Each structure stands twice: as structure tokens, then as C-alpha cells.
């Protein structure tokens, strides 16, 4: 039930995540070789790795939220996956959305603070405000994805077994 545009967006995001992960692996490999053979690490490797890791996490957050791929405990599924409890599942999804929205607001405030104080990364002096804004937007999109996931799950619970 996904549109071609959403499939393309999903593919672009997952490809970006794979490229970033590949870059981390390649950079770490080169950094270790340079450190061992030349006695000189790659300048800024820590900053680059840190930024790429954060991008991977926050690019993937909306995707994993929409897919319902977060860790769950299924001890009580036998009792909670009843048709009469669909409002409970929707409420949990709304709670998750509220927490993600709150995190988004905190990140947005952190972005404002970083911009005001010109916060930079340690080695490469990369401004951090735009990264924080991206993290905030990712949290807001993830909150919307949690609501959508809750609505989808509601429909699956209500269908006869």
C-alpha cells in the first residue's frame, strides 16, 4: 500500500545509511592503518565518525518507528493482543509520539543554543546547530510515524483471527 514516491524515499534513506556506514568502516580501517604504519592517525576521524554515526541513527529512526521495529517485550501479548484492547495500543502509540515530540523540542532548543553560542565539533570545527535541527526533525517525523503505526496496528488487532 506504499506509493512509488515513498518507496523511492525509503530506498534513498536506506542507501544513505549504507553509504554512511561504509564510510565509517573505510575511515576506521584507514585510520588504524595510518596509526600503525605511519604513526599518524587520520585528522578528524573521530569527528567524522561521530557525525556519520548520528546521521545513521537519526535517518533510521523514522523508518524503524514506522515499521514497528523497536524492541518490545512480548510477555503479555497473549493478554494484550485482544480486540477489546485496541484503545490501549493506540494510547501507547500516542505516548510514544509524545515522548518523541518532547525529544524533538529538546533537540530544537539545543540547536538554538548551539547556534547562539556557535558550538563546533572538536577537531574539524563543524557547526553543530544544523545537525541538532536534523535530529529534531527526525524525532518529529518519528512521532508522526508512531501515530501512523498505532493506527495500522489498531486495524490489524481488529481484524478477525
Q: What is the pLDDT of residues 12-32, one digit of tens each?
A: 999 999 999 999 999 999 999
Domain ranges of the chain: 4-158
For the entire predicted model, the pTM comes to: 0.84
Q: Let me know the angle formed at the C-alpha of 68 by 66 and 69, rounded to the nearest 5 degrees.
A: 110
- Cβ distance 84 to 154 under 8 Å? no
Q: Which DSSP helix (H) or strand (E) runs through 19?
A: helix 4-33
Q: What is the mean pLDDT of residues 56-70?
A: 91
For residue 41, the 8-state DSSP code is: P
Grid cell 539545543 is found at 110
Q: What is the pLDDT of residue 109?
A: 98
Residue 156 burial by Cβ neighbours in a 10 Å radius (0-12, 13-18, 19+): exposed
Q: What is the mean pLDDT of residues 90-116?
A: 95
- Cβ distance 123 to 113 under 8 Å? no
Amino acid at each position: 500500500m506504499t506509493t512509488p514516491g515513498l518507496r523511492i524515499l525509503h530506498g534513498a534513506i536506506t542507501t544513505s545509511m549504507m553509504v554512511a556506514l561504509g564510510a565509517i568502516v573505510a575511515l576506521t580501517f584507514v585510520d588504524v592503518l595510518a596509526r600503525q604504519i605511519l604513526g599518524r592517525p587520520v585528522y578528524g576521524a573521530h569527528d567524522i565518525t561521530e557525525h556519520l554515526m548520528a546521521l545513521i541513527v537519526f535517518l533510521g529512526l523514522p523508518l524503524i518507528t514506522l515499521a514497528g521495529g523497536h524492541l518490545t517485550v512480548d510477555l503479555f501479548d497473549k493478554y494484550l493482543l485482544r480486540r477489546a484492547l485496541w484503545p490501549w495500543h493506540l494510547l501507547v502509540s500516542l505516548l510514544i509520539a509524545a515522548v518523541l515530540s518532547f525529544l524533538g523540542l529538546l533537540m530544537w532548543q539545543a540547536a538554538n543554543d548551539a547556534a547562539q553560542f556557535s558550538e563546533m565539533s572538536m577537531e574539524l570545527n563543524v557547526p553543530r546547530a544544523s545537525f541538532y535541527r536534523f535530529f529534531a526533525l527526525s524525532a518529529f517525523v518519528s512521532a508522526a510515524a508512531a501515530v501512523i503505526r498505532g493506527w495500522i496496528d489498531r486495524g490489524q488487532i481488529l481484524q478477525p483471527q
